[in-house]
Structure 1
């Protein structure tokens, strides 16, 4: 899975922004915290949930089950707005 081409990412200081190009049903801007921004960055290339969790474990100190929940939650929200292919 990866981000849909109808969305662009932009780093805005501490936040990662996800912007609809207008080629999707979703119209708007998504602001994310550091964790969600990291997940979105991982989705810029084709990846899996397990690969994202593994990358998070290398970058952050925390329980794996919490990371898995965060990844599932962010991906579900992105799917809801049509921001993920695959």
Structure 2
């Protein structure tokens, strides 16, 4: 899975922004915290949930279960707006 081409990302230093280019049903922008921004960054290339969790484990300290839950939640939200291609 990866980000839909109808969305672009922008890193403004403090947060990652996901912006619709107008070619999807969703029009607007998504502001994300550091964790969600990391997940969105991973989705710029074709990847899997397991690969994202593995990358998070290398970068952050924390329980794997919490990371898996965060990844699932963020991906579910991105799917709702049509931002992910499977």
Task: Report TM bin, short chain.
Answer: over 0.9
RMSD of Structure 2 on Structure 1 (CA): 0.3
Aligned residue in 1 for 2:19: 19
TM-score (normalizing by structure 2): 0.99
- Give unmatched runs, 5+ long, in structure 2: none
Length-normalised TM-score, structure 1: 0.99
The equivalent residue for 1:32 is 32
C-alpha distance after superposition, 1:16-54 (max 9, x if no partner): 000000000000000000000000000000000000000
**Count of residues in Structure 1 that have an aligned counterpart in Structure 2:** 86
| Deviation >2 Å, runs of 4+ | none
1:13 and 1:56 map into 2 onto residues whose CA distance is: 19
Structure 1 unmatched runs, 5+: none
